[in-house]
Amino acid sequence: MKKRVGIMGGTFDPIHLAHLIMANEAYHALELDEVRFLPNATPPHKMISGQSSAEDRCRMIEASTADIPYFKLDKSEILRDGKSYSYDTISQFVEQEPDTDFFFIIGGDMIASLSTWYRIDELKKIITFVGFSRPGYNVGNDEVLMINGPVVDLSSTILRKRLAEKQDCRFLIPEQAYRYILEEGLYES
């Protein structure tokens, strides 16, 4: 029987509760063996804020997922450096783990832009895209397996703005990551 692995890619700048909810819902709905959080080194579609390092982002993920045995941090794209193209990373995973089925977990905002991804047609042949709807995005797409679950309309952009304004974000960011942000003074300006 093949192993079933979910992939949560993104900047995680910072990681927030919507990321964890989506990962957990996919884990249960798809009966996955694990979910890997795959932070980008340099995402092709958006900028990283520059207010946190790759090391900071990895530490926030590790802190947020430490007590969840089926959540793993995967530093493949961070260690490779350069632009992080999902096709390159997933191709490498498929080659290294031929007895594994991979499921790429994405939100409604990513579903809407999927057609612009690097080598998307080849990528669709080697991985199953799993999506969650997100308010304000049209997610009608036959190529994405949709999961019904709690939807939290939350973005790292909004959180960085709130953190810069010294607003309380304790119910939006996992406690361990929030503590790290405050201790390190991330996103303050």
Tokens 């201790």 locate to: 183
What pLDDT score was predicted for residue 81? 72
Q: Residue 136: which CATH number?
A: 3.40.50.620
Please tell me the distance from the alpha carbon of residue 12 to that of residue 22, in angstroms, as a whole number.
Answer: 13
Q: Beta 3-10 vs 71-73: how paired, if at all?
A: unpaired
Q: What are 104's strand-pairing partners? A: 7, 129
Tell me if 75 is assigned to some domain: yes
Q: What's the angle, vertex CA 178, arms to CA 175 and CA 182, rounded to 5?
A: 140
Write the pLDDT tens digit of every residue in 9-23. 999 999 999 999 999
Residues of the chain under the 50 pLDDT cut: none
Number of domains forming the structure of the chain = 1
C-alpha count within 13 angstroms, C-beta hemisphere, residue 136: 6
Give percent helix, percent strand, percent coil of the chain, each to the nearest 5.
Answer: 40, 20, 40
φ/ψ (deg, to 5) at 45: -95, -15
Tell me if 135 is assigned to some domain: yes
Tell me if 77 is assigned to some domain: yes
What pLDDT score was predicted for residue 136? 62
What pLDDT score was predicted for residue 153? 83
Write the pLDDT tens digit of every residue in 114-133. 889 999 999 999 999 999 87
In what order do the strands lie in the sheet containing 144-146?
71-73, 34-39, 3-10, 100-107, 128-132, 144-146
Tell me if 125 is assigned to some domain: yes
What pLDDT score was predicted for residue 149? 82
Tell me if 176 is assigned to some domain: yes
- Among candidate residues 8, 9, 7, 12, the one with its CA nearest the CA of residue 57: 12
Domain encompassing residue 113: 3-184
CA 168 to chain centre: 23
Note whether 126 and 90 are within 8 A (CB): yes
Tell me if 189 is assigned to some domain: no
Note whether 103 and 90 are within 8 A (CB): no
Tell me if 136 is assigned to some domain: yes
Please tell me the distance from the alpha carbon of residue 78 to that of residue 84, in angstroms, as a whole number.
Answer: 8
Tell me if 169 is assigned to some domain: yes
What pLDDT score was predicted for residue 137? 59
* Amino acid identity, position 10: G
* pTM confidence score: 0.92
Note whether 61 and 16 are within 8 A (CB): no
